[in-house]
Amino acid sequence: MIYESHDAAAPAATRPRLLPWSNLDGNPCYLVTDDTGTGRLSRLADEIEAVQLGMADDLLGHAVDLLGDTKATAPQLRYLAACLGDALHDVHRIARSRGARLPVPHGDEKGATSVPEEGPGT
């Protein structure tokens, strides 16, 4: 399901979860559940996030090596930059998703913000 925003003051378990994938149109997908992260789709999202974070970590190591190579070509560096951009997008989405699921401290509901709508290229 796709939702435009959510109530940041709602309990974390009832707020929509930004999933680590988009729909066919490139729009963000959200999961609305009260299963506290134990449902099948929640576990799948956790597994995909773990893979994305691992791939980003591996890519960072490769970037360090390639940037230290004085013989790296311009096409290699452009491809690296594109891959790093994709990985940064994934990591940013994961951070936003996890941050939105943190409990709001008591008495701080007015200072909490909702997860902004994410679209293609954001």
Q: What is the mean pLDDT of the chain?
A: 83
Confidence band, pLDDT 50/70/90 cuts, at residue 11: low
The pTM for the full model equals 0.73
Express each pLDDT in 43-100 by its tens digit. Answer: 999 999 999 999 999 999 999 999 999 999 999 999 999 999 999 999 999 999 999 8
Residue 1 predicted with pLDDT over 50: no
Contacts of 27 (CB under 8 A, 6+ apart): 2, 119, 120
Phi, psi of 121, deg, nearest 5? 85, 5
Which position has the higher pLDDT, 2 or 79? 79
